[in-house]
Amino acid sequence: MLINCVAYQKGKKLADIPIAEISDYLVQPDCFVWVALRDAAPEELSEMQQEFGLHELAVEDAHHGHQRPKIEEYDDSIFAVMHLIEIIDGELNFGELAVFAGKNYVLSVRNGGQQNFLGVRSRCEQEPHLLKLGAGFVFYALMDAVVDRYFPAIDALESELELIEDKIFSKGSTRSNIEQLYELKRKVMRLKHAVAPLMEASGKLYSGRVPAVCANTKHYFRDVSDHLSRVNTSIDSIRDTIGTAIQVNLSMVAIEESEVNKRLAAWAGIFAVATAFAGIWGMNFKAMPELQWDYGYPMALGLIAVTCGVLYRRFKRAGWL
């Protein structure tokens, strides 16, 4: 569906225009058109392709979605795909934003995601001295808004990790901790897949042969790239901490198993001594003097009990019981 279709000239808003009049404004000097779509239908994309002369491969990618983050050049225009990651009710929500930018137009197509970009439009309109830089600045503002939404996601993941770390040394929570850590690792990897390719692709917007659309705003794209680098560093730090936490959990499992094995071995040793005494006295030989003692049976039980008690005390002092 269509969200906005607005024409701007020299940094100032001219009017909200119908799609049919886009071509009339594109030919005006120092004028560009900014169109925003959400979950666009094939017919809408086809109409935009005709109005702006979009490349068919870029339109196909925007239609099918589920693309790897990227920035591609088609003649004098740019096509970018960015993943949207938002915090909705404490959970990560994922979407995708495709942006077409040319000399006199910007088209954004949002698929999924619940947060809109109306704030970005309002911000740009409040800065006409920057908006007059044209489509390149709008492209930067959209990209900057997407990247800024990664920071709350990083904060949420770090908070979730801290909660798990607080429970690592709690008895009986090892299995739950490992399950939560692997779920957290999955979220971090999805964020990594959104950030790393975009950080790599963003370099072409401010260094080397900069596309004409971004020529006047390359310093702004350098700032976005710096933000992406910070996010990527935080992701790597979280991944390392998760790996360490998983190792600690596995170590705790090994320690708990070792404690159980010690207790089993201690009790096995105690009962082995009792069994040995009982086995010796249980042999039916005539010449065994103990068979003729009146107090042989209680003495045997007493000796077994005393020996087991001594072993129990030794194992208890050694920490095995």
Q: Which residues contact residue 191 at a Cβ distance below 8 angstroms, ignoring those fewer than 6 apart? A: 85, 92, 150, 153, 154, 157, 231, 235
Separation between Cα atoms, residue 246 and residue 90, nearest integer Å: 23
Which residues in the chain are classed under CATH 3.30.460.20? 1-132
- Residues 105-153 have pLDDT tens digits of 899 998 887 778 888 888 888 888 888 888 899 999 999 999 999 999 9
| Residue 267: predicted pLDDT | 82
Q: Superfamily for 257-317?
A: Magnesium transport protein CorA, transmembrane region (1.20.58.340)
CATH 1.20.58.340: which residues of the chain? Answer: 257-317
pLDDT band at 195 (very low <50, low <70, confident <90, very high): very high
Residue pLDDT, tens place only, 9-30: 888 888 888 888 888 888 888 8
Total-model pTM: 0.78
Options 3.40.50.300, 3.30.460.20, 3.40.50.720, 3.40.50.1000; CATH for 1-132 is 3.30.460.20
Task: Provide mean pLDDT across the span 161-177.
Answer: 80
CA nearest neighbour of 151 among 239, 70, 240, 230: 230
Closest CA to 140 of 217, 237, 58: 217
Question: Two tokens at 51?
Answer: 């109005």
- The per-residue pLDDT for range 49-98, each reduced to its tens digit, is 888 888 888 888 888 878 889 998 888 889 999 999 887 776 788 889 99
What single letter denotes the amino acid at residue 201?
A
